[in-house]
Amino acid sequence: MDNHNHSYCCSCDHEENHNQTNQPIGYFNLKQEILPLLAVGIIYILGLIFYQQLENTAYGIGKYIVFIPIYIYSGSNVLSSAGKNILKGRIFDENFLMTVATLAAIAIDKLPEAVAVMLFYQIGETFQEYSVKRSRNSIKSLLEVRPDYANLKIDDSLKKVFPEKVEVGSEIVVKPGEKIPLDGEIISGNSQVDTSALTGESIPKFFTVGQIILAGMVNQTGVLTIRVTKLFDESSIARILELVETAKSKKSKTERFMTTFARYYTPVVVFISLAIALLPPLFISDATYADWINRALIVLVVSCPCGLVISIPLGYFGGVGGAAKRGILVKGSTFLDDLAAIKTVVFDKTGTLTEGQLQVTDIVTKNGLTQQELIEVAAKVESLSNHPIAQAVYKYNSTKVDNSDVSEYQEIAGCGIKAKVGNKTVIAGGDRLLHLEDIEHDICDVGDTAVHLAINSKYVGYITISDQIKLDSAPAIKSLKNLGVEKTVMLTGDNQSVAQRVAKNLGLDDYQAELLPEDKVTAIEKLLHQNNGKVAFVGDGINDAPVIARADVGMAMGSMGSDAAIETADVVIMTDAPSKVAEAIKIGRKTRRIVWQNIGFALGVKGLFILLGMVGLASIWEAVFADVGVALIAIFNSSRALT
């Protein structure tokens, strides 16, 4: 879309700044960062090869000329950070450890080893930064789908404006290849649309007149005219960007623990190293300060916690990014830990396990009417109502409805409709209305929501209406059970018979029907007290927001879900697919497993080399490679959370 930028009606400065900051995500790469390090590394290796000759120069000045510039270049960030932190009163951190260790190594004429610590650390930092960029790739891709402009329709012309300038009710035109700039309803055209930025689904979806389309999707084939239904700040893509920013600030318990651990770990290591350097020569007759200072340096180098401290948040960040790639927005790493511990999943029914769209499923006639005659008369009286059930009947009728002969129309609250069609009195509604009108009928409970009809007080049949179960729902429940989730429950305000049928078809462990929003909160609280593991609730409606907030992990359907549910939720599923619940739990478990692998591996290797260093079985070279190796392996292991 860059070829359209020059026709903006907006300021050029803004456009240029936007283009400059919109670099490709992989722009940080080994070409820009590793080449200087590679050159320095070659000089370092040559210095090692000719070290004896350099040392034989006057006062050994040759080795200082070669190695000190490398030390300053590769260690400048560490040295400056250590100095700044000391001035601020924050003495004990990994920068302080490395500075003390390397300066002490230089003082005892271990110049190549000191330089190696800084150089290899810098190489490790470069790979870590590359891994962070890669981990952020899937999350930053959300920023890239931010629409740059909207084609605002003014009379018969189009004007390019920023999406923030478009008001609700305005009409915009989206051409093939352009991003949908705002949420709205399609009023003209149809097209294949790439929804992957919001849903993670790679297969394009077909959109046509009357459907709601969301900002951030990409139009592929046809021209669409859209009536805007939400301001840009309230649109789907704006909500997602806000969720991503919020996610960065919510640390997991493991991350907080490791931050605290590092704060106490560093001073302990420093004092242990001092003790190793100073005490043995005082109590062991043949011990020398040179030998024990060398051992203390090895302990300092190995003990550096940078790899551990870096790889843990990187693992969680990778988990959040990996989930985003799959259309699952996790609002913080703390919720990845909670997802991993889920033992009970509770679902809302309508719009979560079912499509949330009522449809006619059966037409049963009585007393001589045909199915077509029954649906036509029902459609006439229902066409004047906005009730979802009435609209389902009206839309089902295949012929054009002429309701000009409908008169004396009245809606009877909670029961149905009574009206005149021509000279006939027609009632259409629930079983309760038949009893109120004293109409004789042979069936009351048909197992589904039903519209019963009578003409001139004579019962003529009923039309069943139901909300279709999503094709994805049954596999979703099965996947949860395969993951070891102990209990699956459905809470619904629908009637008992409908709830029972849905629960049985899906293989749910339990269900509760005819619940008000406050009843759902009570039900979730009981489950919270009954279970050892975490309880998740999955919903989509505004009435689900209190329950989502009360659960250990609140999950909202993000595509068609209410704003209240999405804002309250800890996890947002952009596809409206129940199977994503199991996928989110898998991601949470995988992330936690990776993080604890890093912790166990780092502490194990460091503990081993500290012991070897203390008894003199490890050299400072081995300490350098152990520290750098642990950091790199932990970083690369963390990047698996993305896949």
> How far is CA 419 from each of CA 56, 409, 454, 486, rounded to the nearest angstrom?
111, 4, 11, 52
Amino acid of residue 82: A
Residues whose CB falls within 8 Å of the CB of residue 545, separated by 6 or more in sequence, listed in order: 539, 562, 564, 565, 567, 568
Which tokens go with 169?
């009710």
Contact 453/426 with Cβ under 8 angstroms? yes
Residue for token digits 């109502």?
A: 385
Greatest extent of the chain over all pairs of C-alpha atoms, in Å: 120
Residues 6+ apart with CB under 8 A from 585: 339, 340, 342, 480, 483, 485
Which residue type occupies 368? G
DSSP conformational letter for 178: P
C-alpha 117, offset from chain centre: 37
DSSP assignment string, 314-373: HHHHHHHHHHHHTTEEES-HHHHHHHHTEEEEEEESTTTTEEEEEEEEEEEE-TT--HHH
> For the chain, give me the number of helices (H) and strands (E)?
23, 22
DSSP conformational letter for 399: S
Residue 392: is it exposed, middle or buried by C-beta count within 10 angstroms (0-12/13-18/19+)?
A: buried
Coil/strand/helix, residue 511:
strand
The per-residue b/e assignment along 505-544, b for 16 or more CB within 10 angstroms, e otherwise, is: ebebeebbbebeeeebbebbeebeeeeebbbbbbbbbebb
DSSP-based three-state secondary structure for 212: strand
In this structure, what are the phi and psi dihedrals at residue 179, rounded to the nearest 5 degrees? -80, 145
Amino acid identity for residue 443 in this structure: I
* Torsion of Cα atoms, 347 then 348 then 351 then 352, to 10°: -10
Q: Residue 491: in which H helix or E strand, if any?
A: strand 487-491
Identity of residue 528? L
User: Known catalytic residues?
Assistant: 348
Enumerate the β-bridge partners of residue 168.
none
Residues in CB range of 215: below 8 A, 6 or more apart: 147, 163, 179, 180, 181, 182, 183, 232, 235, 236, 237, 238
Give dist(CA 542, CA 109) in Å, integer.
70
The strand pairing partners of 593, in sequence order, are none
Q: In what order do the strands lie in the sheet with 510-512?
A: 328-330, 571-573, 553-557, 534-539, 342-348, 487-491, 510-512
* Contact yes or no for 272/299 (Cβ under 8 A): yes
Q: Give 4's DSSP letter.
A: G
